[in-house]
Amino acid sequence: MPETYVSEAMAAAVGRELERRVSYPIAASDIRRWVVAVYYPEDPPRLFWDELYAATTPFGGIVAPEDFNPFAWMAAEPAGVPRREGYDPNSTETRLGLPSAGLSFQLNGGLQAEYGVRMRPGDVITWVMRLGGYREREGRLGRMLFTDMEATWTNQRDEVVKRTTSTLIRY
C-alpha cells in the first residue's frame, strides 16, 4: 500500500471542473417515479404527484423533492447514455487526465447540501461538479482516500437549486 494515494498532480488538480451536465426538462412523472421509490412501500405525499392538490398548496403546483436527481439515465448535454466509468474507483483522476491512483473500491462516504429554489416540472437543470479536495485516513479496511466533489445545480433562470458536496471513500 502506498504511503499516500495523493500524488502531486492530484493535489494540483483540486478546484478543477470534473464534469458539467444539462438535464432534459424535468417531467412530472420523473418526479412521480422518484417519490414512489423513496417512499416505498407507502404512498408518497400528494404534493409530488397530484397536480390538482399541488395547485392548492403554497407551491402552486408539483415540485420535486430536494434530493431529486434529474440526470438519471440520460442528459441533454453531454448527449447520449452516460458512460459507466463513474463506477470505476479511479475515474475521478482519469477524467482529469491524471494517472490512476490505484484504488480498488469506492463507497459513498457522505453528503452535504444547501438548498435554494425547488425543482419543478419543465425545469432544465445545469450541474457543474468540481474536485473539492482530498483527505486520507486509516480505517478498518486500511488506508482510505476521502475525496470531496463539490457541485452547483442551477435552473434555466440561473437560480441556484442546490449546492452539494459528496464525499467518496476509496481504498
For another protein, the binding residues (CB under 8 A) are 33-34, 36-41, 45, 47, 57-59, 65-67, 69, 72-73, 82, 87, 105, 107-115, 140-141, 167
Q: How near is the Cβ of 98 to another protein at its closest, in Å?
A: 23
Q: Least CB distance from residue 111 to another protein, whole Å?
A: 5
- CB closer to another protein out of 34 and 153: 34
Residue with Cβ nearer another protein (11 or 107): 107
Least separation in angstroms between residue 9's CB and another protein is: 27
Q: Which residues pair with 19 in a beta bridge?
A: 129
2-12: string of b/e by CB count within 10 Å (b at 16+)?
A: eeebbeeebee
Measured from the CB of residue 33, what is the shortest distance to another protein in angstroms?
5
CB closer to another protein, 8 vs 108: 108
168 by Cβ neighbours in 10 Å (0-12 / 13-18 / 19+) ranks as: buried
- What span, in angstroms and rounded, lies between the C-alpha atoms of 107 and 105? 7
Least distance to another protein, CB of residue 40, Å? 5
Q: Is 15 left (phi over 0), alpha (psi -120 to 50) or beta?
A: left
Q: Is 14:132 a contact under the CB 8 Å cutoff?
A: yes
Nearer to another protein, 13 or 70 (CB): 70
Whichever of 11 and 111 has its CB closer to another protein, that residue is 111
Q: Can you tell me the distance from the alpha carbon of 104 to that of 94, in angstroms, rounded to the nearest whole number?
A: 14
